[in-house]
Structure 1
Amino acid sequence: MGEWLGSGLSDEELDAAYNVRRKAGEELFARHMERYRAESERAVDGLPGRPGIVYDEASGERLDVWGTGEGLRPVFVYLHGGYWMALSRNVSSFMARGLWEQGVATVVPDYTLAPKASLEEIVRQVRACVAWVHRHGRDHGLDPERIVVGGSSAGGHLTGMVMAGGWQEAFGLPRDVVKGAMPISGLFDIRPITRVYVNDVVGLDLERAAALSPALLPVEHRCPAVFVVAEDDGEGFLEQSRWFQPRWGAGELIVAPGRDHFDVVFDLADPESRVGAALLGLVRR
């Protein structure tokens, strides 16, 4: 398959670049996961919305709608991380209250985790989620003409897969259905994953990984994008964003100071942070 990001590194070097849980250490990782849960619960406590809507009949997967209000609101669709094999919508709505206060609704879907679902199926599901928002959003106070998609880590990869072209027609969607995107610590060429521990679960080969890499897919419409990565992120994630952002050609790169792979997402809830302000800028274009 030729050269690709990290192809010249040893397996040990690739693991060091992409094993962000090991980089954080188990104690800090556990604190981050507890914060995901606690802040998500606080964010949606008493917040107007509707949780648990089935968005994809084929899989039965569900999404939560949070932060609706008068009229139709622009919507931020957040795709959670967890290397496609962990986490859920229940611990991924920590930004919902902060966005609601700024007039923005939040949609957080589940997707079937690996290895129960293939990565191709996971991608299909998140695209089906975007299609659901476009078709049914008005019934839930969501503006189908103002959809911004973002996600962290694996969710950043999935964000890239809805930024790419070549899938919208099959779902009956316009090419510009996604009006803005914010991949956070995203993976845009996932061929390195074939040689790290994650592949024991997702089971990719180089050919499938290439077909599932946003950077290698056709682009029919370059939506505005903000690429975010943490200053203390894994080296592989820093390289991925620094490499793909100029190739996308329709967005900026933010390296969030003092943040790591797991806590950078909390800036989404803070409109005073550079990341939070950039998200609101995407929504309000």
Structure 2
Amino acid sequence: MLQEMTSWTAMTKDELERQYSPRRWSHRMAADDVIKSHVKTLKEGTERARNLAQTLLNVPYGEGEGEKLDAYIPTTKSLDVPLVIYLHGGYWQFLSKEESGFMAVPLAEKGVVVVAVDYDIAPKGNMDLMVSQVRRSVVSVVQQYSHISGLYICGHSAGAHLAAMVLSTDWSQYSTVPQIKGAFLVSGIYDLLPILSTYVNDPLKMTEEVAIRNSPSKLIPQLKLSSSGCHIVVAVAENDSPEFRKQSEDYYKTLKSTGLNVTMEDVLNTDHFNIIEQLVDGNYHLTKLLMKMMGKS
């Protein structure tokens, strides 16, 4: 079981910032080193994927300069081709699709298309814009790849938040209704209110109103309406901070209580960073789980 902890409302600003600084909770290396290692690992994995799979790079999904995606396409004649959309982390202010193709290394070999999505990170982009962009990217992918056998979405950290916002979309405002079969939400934040007074919000400049309307935990009725047929996996690292772990547990419990198809994965021997880095490995627990979900195990 995940441990209980004090409500964030009772924490000092310093403690909140410590809880929401994932680099300070890794047992593998120093705080700055774990970030450098993370970026290096993701870049190397993405380079490997670009050498293994056919690629379509910088495909526009909108008119904005940052509204582009990369597709990693397997060499297969099969018509049974699942597609996974990956939304990168980086606290809505770092990283890009250039480090986000790594999971195509094992998936392309199994006949799975992987799409890595860019969005306008802060300070250029604000939270409302980023959420709008990833929603539109999903619509664009569905329109471009109408022959796929199943649509799946995976996000890490800030990307898990954005993926959860995609699941909570009112699709009546869009030109199509994506049928997302499965979602992997890895070490995400589902309630944005705790980070309002932390360093994380400095470039985002979210108000309480913005945080509430972009918190997946506040949008459960819409998620149930839009994504009732989706199998949702909420994954958290053993060495994520207690507050990150609580975010995942609370979101999982809320989804479960409404009757949604959701499972919780508490991944042993991982921290906030290598829980996602290891998706480059076909034998990794979460990779095998994703493949099983897609019928590719």
After TM superposition, the score normalised by the length of structure 1 is 0.91
Cα distance 1:122–1:26, how it changes in 2: closer, same or farther (>3 A)? same
- Per the TM alignment, residue 257 of structure 1 is displaced from its structure 2 partner at its CA by 0.9
CA distance in structure 2 between the aligned counterparts of 1:163 and 1:284, rounded to whole angstroms: 21
Structure 2 CA distance for aligned equivalents of residues 5 and 251 of structure 1: 24
- CA distance in 2 between counterparts of 1:197 and 1:35 reads 25
Q: Aligned residue for 1:29?
A: 35
| 2:144 is equivalent to residue 156 of structure 1 | no
* 1:248 CA drift (Å): 1.3
The alpha-carbon distance between structure 1 residues 46 and 101, as it changes in their structure 2 partners (threshold 3 A), is: closer
Residue 195 of structure 2 contacts residue 201 of structure 2 at CA under 8 Å; is this kept in 1? yes
Q: Give the 5 Å matches for 1:66-81.
A: 66-68=72-74, 69-72=76-79, 73-81=81-89
Q: What are the within-5 Å matches in structure 2 for residues 70-149 of structure 1?
A: 70-72=77-79, 73-138=81-146, 143=148, 146-149=150-153
Does the C-alpha gap of structure 1 residues 280 and 204 become closer, same or farther in structure 2, counting only changes over 3 Å? Answer: same
Q: Distance in 2 between matches of 1:34 and 1:267?
A: 13
Query: Is 1:247 aligned with 2:254?
Result: yes
List per-residue Cα deviations over 1:233-267 (Å, max 9, x = no partner).
12221111111112112211111111110111123
Secondary structure at 2:9 match in 1: coil
Following superposition, the deviation at residue 41 of structure 1 comes to 0.6
Q: Kindly tell me: are residues 150 and 46 of structure 1, through their superposed partners in 2, closer, same or farther at Cα, counting changes over 3 Å?
A: closer
Q: Secondary structure at the match of 2:10?
A: coil
Q: Is 1:180 paired with 2:182?
A: yes
CA contact (8 A) 2:91 2:157 kept: yes
Question: 1:179: Cα distance to partner?
Answer: 1.5
> What SS does the corresponding residue of 2:234 show, helix, strand or coil?
strand
1:264 maps to 2:264: no
Over 3 Å counting, the alpha-carbon distance change for 1:57 and 1:71 in structure 2 is farther
CA distance in 1, matches of 2:264, 2:182: 14
Aligned match of 1:237? 244
**Contact between 2:52 and 2:105, CA under 8 Å: does it hold in 1?**
no
How much has 1:283 moved relative to structure 2?
A: 2.3
Q: Secondary structure at the match of 1:29?
A: helix
Equivalent residues of 2:160, 2:189 under 8 A apart: yes
| Identity over aligned pairs, percent | 31
State the match for 2:51 in structure 1.
45
Q: 1:13, 1:23 → 2: CA distance?
A: 13
Compared with structure 1, are the counterparts of its residues 49 and 71 closer, same or farther at alpha carbon in structure 2 (3 Å cutoff)?
Answer: farther
Paired AA for residue 200 in structure 1:
D
Partner of 2:212: 210
AA in 2 matched with 1:47: A
Tell me if the contact between 1:148 and 1:282 (Cα under 8 Å) persists in the aligned partners. no
Note closer, same or farther for the CA distance 1:106–1:5 as it changes in structure 2 (3 Å cut): farther
Alignment deviations for residues 60-99 of structure 1 (CA, whole Å, 9 cap, x no partner):
5110110333244110100000000010111111110200
Worse-matched range after superposition: 152-161 or 213-222: 213-222
Pair 1:197-2:215 in alignment? no
Q: In the aligned structure 1, how far is the partner of 2:240 from the partner of 2:25?
A: 9
One-letter code of the match for 1:258? N
- CA drift of 1:43 comes to 2.0
Deviation at 1:173, TM superposition (A): 2.3
Once the two structures are TM-superposed, the CA of residue 13 in structure 1 deviates from its matched residue by 1.5
Q: Displaced runs of 4+ in structure 1, greater than 6 A?
A: none
What CA RMSD, in Å, does the superposition of the two structures yield over aligned residues?
1.9
8 Å CA contact retained: 2:236, 2:266:
yes
Q: Please say if 1:280 is aligned against 2:277.
A: no
Of stretches 51-60 and 113-122 in structure 1, the one that deviates more from structure 2 is 51-60
Q: Does the C-alpha gap of structure 1 residues 271 and 39 become closer, same or farther in structure 2, counting only changes over 3 Å?
A: closer
Number of corresponding residues:
276
5+ residue gaps, structure 1: none
Deviation, structure 1 residue 40:
1.3
